[in-house]
Structure 1
Amino acid sequence: MTTDQEGRRRQLAAASDPRATRTRQRIIAACRELLEAERSVTVAAVCTRAGVGRSTFYTHFATVGDVAVAAVDHLIDRLVADDIARRAAGLERSVIVRTGLTDLCRAVVQERAFFLYALSAPATEHVRERFVADLAAGLRTTVRSEIPDVAEAFERTAADFLANGAVGALLDWLAEPAGRTESDMIDFLSELLPRWLITGRVN
């Protein structure tokens, strides 16, 4: 059941009001800075860092975990938009896939503070589920673009399978690199992706 406050937060997140957008960005940036500095991340600390009152924070977010979710949403939105632009430009599929993986790995590193926080906080599953859901939604767009005639059931299953696998591997890498570099992860994920993403044909 969605409360009035939750509904209001969703409206603000989707709104084009530049003031609301700037406020959310300040709160996200403040949370990121505290996490990167390994400082205590509480609503009070985030408000102080962002220069906003607690009422303003709660107007936009229910918890610090929700701030992490918003950062993930923004990250995936940007990656999906870039992927769509590359496909519209008519680049080779192999280039599109490799570039998309590179951007995904770099984006995860860029927001590593939020992901590492999520792995050790009560919001862990919430953030992970959102990351998977956002990535799967983007991948469904990719599958439809590359294989327009594919069955919807296959499209959904493929997107969920790829998103869960990629997120699991990337979060494990962030938590325990085990000697794996960013370049390694890009290579590994490239090898593990199904060939039909490049050939455009499903057997």
Structure 2
Amino acid sequence: MSDTHGDPRVERSRAQLTDALTTLLRTREPREISVSALCTEAGLSRPTFYQHFANLDEVAVAGIEGRFRHLRAELPEADGPETSYRLLLAWLIELDGERDAWQRTIGSGMAFSASRDAVEAWLVQQLAQHAPSATPPVLRYAAAGFLGAVRSWLLQDAGPDRPSAAELAASLVDVSARVLAPTVGTRSTLKT
């Protein structure tokens, strides 16, 4: 198998499929979306689909990863809490703008549960890069809590009790920093 990373045709096909999934999720429930329907929407064949993805969950994860790469590329070069906050805020604003589609993807129900699991695993990898001393259980805890908070926010009815994207982003960055930072006096740091 040849290396197709960076091949514009591969990237174009993958983008067509992720964009088509986003389009379908605006109007359909996940359980109503098939590989055939996705290929029709994308204007691609089923063999092309299977050259790039094994299932619909992989398409959903690729779409989320692509959005993060795009949003990160739009931010000025910097690293740290302020950059994390701005990236998270941009993502939350985008999620809120496409709330119905995202509720179908990472909201309730069993459809796309593998996507949620894959996004959580991907988030663990991202957090590990920013907190290399964090243990795997702490990283999984932080990722699951982060996604749980975002999911709850997406499912929450609009109103005065629903935080804005900026308020949620600030809370998530603060809590993530506390969870991932080494703390004195935890069981793992106490000597017996």
Question: Which bracket does the TM-score occupy, shorter chain normalised?
Answer: 0.7 to 0.9
Name the counterpart of 2:138: 158
Q: Secondary structure at the match of 1:28?
A: helix
How has the CA–CA distance of structure 1 residues 65 and 115 changed in structure 2, closer, same or farther, with 3 Å as cutoff?
Answer: farther
Amino acid at match of 1:22: R
How has the CA–CA distance of structure 1 residues 130 and 157 changed in structure 2, closer, same or farther, with 3 Å as cutoff?
Answer: same
Q: Percent identity?
A: 28
Q: Is 1:106 matched up with 2:93?
A: yes
Name the counterpart of 2:189: none
Given candidates 68, 72, 75, the residue that maps to 2:60 is 68
Given candidates 158, 168, 171, the residue that maps to 1:185 is 168
Q: Is 1:47 matched up with 2:39?
A: yes
Q: Give the CA deviation at 1:165.
A: 0.8
Given candidates 82, 85, 91, the residue that maps to 1:95 is 82
Q: Per-residue displacement from partner, 1:174-199 (whole Å, max 9, x unpaired)?
A: 123463232332243244333587xx
Equivalent pairs counted in the alignment come to: 178
Equivalents in 1 of 2:123, 2:107: separation in Å? Answer: 18
Q: Is 1:132 matched up with 2:120?
A: yes
Q: Secondary structure at the match of 2:58?
A: helix
Equivalents in 2 of 1:68, 1:160: separation in Å? Answer: 20
How has the CA–CA distance of structure 1 residues 165 and 37 changed in structure 2, closer, same or farther, with 3 Å as cutoff?
Answer: same
How has the CA–CA distance of structure 1 residues 194 and 57 changed in structure 2, closer, same or farther, with 3 Å as cutoff?
Answer: closer
CA RMSD of aligned residues (A): 3.4
Q: Give the CA deviation at 1:24.
A: 0.9
Q: Secondary structure at the match of 2:38?
A: helix
Equivalents in 2 of 1:78, 1:157: separation in Å? Answer: 29
* 5+ residue gaps, structure 2: 185-192
Name the counterpart of 2:9: 19
Asked if the contact 2:61–2:118 (Cα under 8 Å) also holds between the matched residues in 1, the reply is yes
Task: Compute the TM-score of the two structures, normalised by the length of structure 1.
Answer: 0.69
Equivalents in 2 of 1:163, 1:84: separation in Å? Answer: 25
Name the counterpart of 1:90: none
Asked if the contact 1:116–1:175 (Cα under 8 Å) also holds between the matched residues in 2, the reply is no
Asked if the contact 1:68–1:114 (Cα under 8 Å) also holds between the matched residues in 2, the reply is no
* 5+ residue gaps, structure 1: 1-7, 88-92, 145-149
Amino acid at match of 2:105: Y
Q: Give the CA deviation at 1:115.
A: 5.3
Q: Give the CA deviation at 1:70.
A: 1.6
Q: Per-residue displacement from partner, 1:72-111 (whole Å, max 9, x unpaired)?
A: 2323445677789422xxxxx4423432431342354466
Q: Which structure has the highest helix share of the two?
A: 1
Worse-superposed segment, 124-133 or 112-121: 112-121
Equivalents in 1 of 2:83, 2:105: separation in Å? Answer: 31
Task: Compute the TM-score of the two structures, normalised by the length of structure 2.
Answer: 0.72
